[in-house]
Copies of this chain bind each other. A is one copy, B any other.
């Protein structure tokens, strides 16, 4: 079911700052901020009143907080990519933005302290810092791996780095950290730090690679997936993935309401453009 706290509001953009290849954007969202959990996302209307873009864009919540003066803040990390995200990144403080939040599922927080490994690709690191803080408060050990094609695409603000026990960086071009992909360093980190659970967010191919490793090492894997979404609220059925349910049946499952955070080990990853065999209703 849709996130029971979801509401549609007009939010004022409080600040918009460039950070590497990304824009760090802060919105005033009032009480809504109190309902946002790590892993939830927002759906934003882009392009203004006479825009040719008819669909909202989804963005992971980087951080949500209630200030002592009662102001609720919502922060996003936006990569200017196509028309919609470029429009958003170009908005100036003071603009009023139409957004729906919070949407989707959130990362499951363990009741007992565990050793957690957080893995982010590109802007996929966004929801991991708030998650790291929460995990730390619960007494978890938190290690983090961030990967991207190049140094400017690693999003890792200073205050974020402070909340993790270790931070490993990989880049495809070697411009920062280790040359290679996050999956190249995972196996060792899992062993070294006796990881119980992996939390990940990033491109689908990365999530699939992590799932292979997590299965091999028999660790829990909660990942935040990213399928194209038309509505973000569960009514259009565009955002589905084949996911195994508690009853053992694999269904095409909406990632906007039953995700974006899903059990990576239950997802039938596939790079083909066909419904895998065995899916309910195929």
Chain A residues with CB under 8 Å of chain B are 47-53, 83, 87
Tell which of A48, A50, A51, A87 has the most Cβ of chain B within 10 Å. A50
Do residues B49 and A50 form an inter-chain contact, with CB atoms below 8 A?
no
Do residues B47 and A83 form an inter-chain contact, with CB atoms below 8 A?
no
Q: Which residues of B contact A48 (CB under 8 A)?
A: 48
CB-defined A-B contacts under 8 Å, sample of 9: A47-B50, A48-B48, A50-B51, A50-B52, A50-B53, A50-B83, A50-B87, A51-B51, A52-B52
Nearest CB of chain B from residue A173's CB, rounded to whole Å:
30
Q: Which residues of B contact A53 (CB under 8 A)?
A: 50
Q: Which residues of B contact A50 (CB under 8 A)?
A: 47, 51-53, 83, 87
Q: Which residues of B contact A87 (CB under 8 A)?
A: 50
Q: Which residues of B contact A51 (CB under 8 A)?
A: 50-52
8 further contact pairs, Cβ within 8 A, besides A50-B53, A51-B52, A52-B52:
A47-B50, A48-B48, A49-B83, A50-B51, A50-B52, A50-B83, A50-B87, A51-B51
Complex formed: what's the CA distance from A49 to B90 in Å?
A: 12
